[in-house]
Amino acid sequence: MSKITVAIDGYSSCGKSTLAKALAQKLNYNYIDTGAMYRAVTIYCLRNGIIQKSIVNQKKLMDCLSDIEVSFRYNTVTKTSEVFLNGEHVEKEIRTMEVANHVSAISSIKEVREKMVILQREMGKHKGVIMDGRDIGTHVFPYAELKLFMTADNDVRTQRRLDELSSKGEYHTFEDVKRNLEKRDHDDTTRKENPLIKAEDAVVLDNTDINKEEQLEFVMKLIEDLLLTKDEFNQAPSKH
């Protein structure tokens, strides 16, 4: 059976990674969380004094950029790919509010995006990949067979993020989390380098009022139809 590339873009806390992981397991595809890659770079910057008082020292970051290696390793227990920074497992550390408050500034830097996009394209060059982020369908894989653009009501997104943080022992107010999401939305959609926009051929998926199972069923039907069409085309006899 043919394999395709699935590009999932959308706003923060819309469940992109949840859907992507479920699809990857169903299809036995590789899952790449590109947001985790930028979060890993952010961790490096926080640890090494490149971010101070919410200001990024871009010159210092450029000097260190070649020393930053981001990779993924498959966890056979959780059955997901987890992110490593220079060989160190940082999957838990990258999900904090501190990182969330600074990742948009890091991901807006041209040189950082260029380096991450090279890695992303290399990871997905053989297809059979589910990749989520902000510019996957518009920039990283503009020719992906399926592009999704995910969105949801702001208050619903805020509660999801609040629940996620609370489950990890990190407690914040609803208002603080909502402000963080709104700031990230603004930063993501207005940045100069590959902003978050919906690809013209993307399928919009608003999951405000649908559950994870309904969402997965909807997207699997899209993928199955695509694969069926692709296989029929590949098997059609040539007229020449």
- Give the model confidence (pLDDT) of 65-105 as tens digits: 999 999 998 888 877 889 999 999 999 999 999 999 999 99
> pLDDT (tens digit, 9 = 90+) per residue, 180-206?
999 999 999 999 989 999 999 999 999
> pLDDT (tens digit, 9 = 90+) per residue, 31-41?
999 999 999 99
How far apart CA 111 and CA 142 sit, in angstroms, is: 20
How far apart CA 209 and CA 90 sit, in angstroms, is: 32
How large is the average pLDDT for residues 165-193?
93
How far apart CA 158 and CA 46 sit, in angstroms, is: 25
| Domains in the chain: ranges and CATH | 5-226 (3.40.50.300)
DSSP code of residue 151: E
| Cβ atoms 148, 6 nearer than 8 A | yes
Percentage of residues in the chain having pLDDT higher than 70: 95
DSSP code of residue 170: -
Distance from chain centroid for Cα 136 = 8
Pairing of strands 146-151, 129-133: unpaired
Statement: the pTM of the whole predicted model exceeds 0.85: yes
- Of 66, 67, 97, residue with least CA distance to 173: 97
Residue 204: what are its φ and ψ, rounded to 5°? -80, 130
How far apart CA 204 and CA 148 sit, in angstroms, is: 6
How far apart CA 2 and CA 150 sit, in angstroms, is: 25
